[in-house]
Structure 1
């Protein structure tokens, strides 16, 4: 069963229930980091790639692999890294591949009622900027948007990295929080093209960007290095519940 731990943001004091991610070992067993309950999370102000990975040992086969460190985006704009029970080289407690179904989530893990009929989202680990765009495209497809494709050309000046018939998205893979200019530009493109505009960011959002997105109704998601987007604002939660037009 996927472990859920309370995580309190040190900036706004808001408490979140965080579900610890699990990753598939090559042997098929799920591998999950152990978090320190009651510990104080660290706010990530500037992402350092070397510090964003964690070595975990599979309890089933003993193999050591590097996996993304657990991270959580708070609606206040802070990107949080929950504390680990052990600093590195953790051993996963999962020893049987059959104990967790495909997708790495427990069968009785809570899920929004509106998405119960969807299969579990299958993320891809993010190691490059292209991986971030791929993860966002897979997520939009999972939400129900069809034929979502990357925009040809690296770092388009328009700020639009993905397009589909009914959606366009910007993906910020940098290590600095996304600012309000990117939010406004993306919203304008969505308005002009009568498409749903969605923003994904690897390092979270500035307070100004959060406020601007709130006033515009633009869905904001953060991307963790496991490749699983997390909704940041009400518009993102609404999109997650309603899904795309498919």
Structure 2
């Protein structure tokens, strides 16, 4: 198996050199999925949450975590699913071991990156079993963990009062804590309403760092480690 392989586009036949991205393990060591140079790439025609994540085990400490499945975009417009070692592509359930420190981040370039950055931060808070929410929000991407309802907003516009109130109502209905992550920040009215509702607000910067922007978020951020 290899960390860099040649990938052939299924649509146009163009070949690309692809290197697997590395992610930070809780122990601090970089981990990367094992690519399979003997298998062929496949075109991504539709997406499901379970298929977009694979389990990757750290060679240094043995901890297994969930990370995005490797993908490659061809100039012809085709998105390719890069083949990985089947032994390393299984689902990772609840991962034992230490929490991931909150300062572990991934750069945010796409909506998928924003979700990864939010999941990584939630692990730093001790929430290991993060999954796609059963009830998607009106905007953005919904995540859930025991006792937690999360909204990740990867759009270019600031979150509105309505966005904040909808998340708060959803969290109240599930007797859970609501958290909001936004790439573009929040309107002044949204921040004021979140303060009244005691709803933590975070902004994801391009480096993937989750920055608290109101008092509830600052208090929650202090528990990460």
TM-score (norm 2): 0.52
Aligned to 1:127: 109
Write out per-residue CA displacement over residues 138-162 of structure 1, whole angstroms, 9 at most, x where no aligned residue: 1011111230113379x64376611
Q: CA deviation at 1:164?
A: 0.4
List gaps (5 residues or longer) in structure 2: 1-21, 23-98
> In 2, distance between residues paired with 1:120 and 1:198?
15
Give the conservation status (yes or no) of the 8 Å contact 1:187–1:218.
yes
Aligned to 2:129: 147
Give the conservation status (yes or no) of the 8 Å contact 2:140–2:155.
no
Residues 197/132 of structure 1: CA separation in 2 closer, same or farther (3 Å cut)? same
Matched, 1:209 2:199: no
> In 1, distance between residues paired with 2:137 and 2:101?
32
Aligned to 2:211: 230
Give the conservation status (yes or no) of the 8 Å contact 1:171–1:199.
yes
- 3-state secondary structure, aligned to 2:222: helix
Aligned to 1:163: 144
Give the conservation status (yes or no) of the 8 Å contact 1:123–1:228.
yes
Q: CA deviation at 1:118?
A: 7.1
> In 1, distance between residues paired with 2:102 and 2:127?
16
List gaps (5 residues or longer) in structure 1: 1-23, 25-116
Q: CA deviation at 1:134?
A: 1.3
Aligned to 1:240: 221
Residues 123/203 of structure 1: CA separation in 2 closer, same or farther (3 Å cut)? same
- Runs of 4+ in structure 1 displaced over 4 angstroms? none
**CA root-mean-square deviation:** 2.5
Give the conservation status (yes or no) of the 8 Å contact 1:132–1:227.
yes
Higher relative contact order (CA 8 A, sep 6+): 1
Please list, as runs of the form range in 1=range in 2, the aligned pairs for 1:78-157 lying within 5 A after superposition. 119=101, 121-151=103-133, 156-157=137-138
Give the conservation status (yes or no) of the 8 Å contact 1:159–1:185.
no
Write out per-residue CA displacement over residues 147-204 of structure 1, whole angstroms, 9 at most, x where no aligned residue: 0113379x64376611001111111111111101010000111111111100000011
> In 1, distance between residues paired with 2:214 and 2:207?
20
Aligned to 2:40: none
Aligned to 2:180: 199
Residues 131/159 of structure 1: CA separation in 2 closer, same or farther (3 Å cut)? closer
> In 2, distance between residues paired with 1:181 and 1:120?
28
Give the conservation status (yes or no) of the 8 Å contact 2:160–2:190.
yes
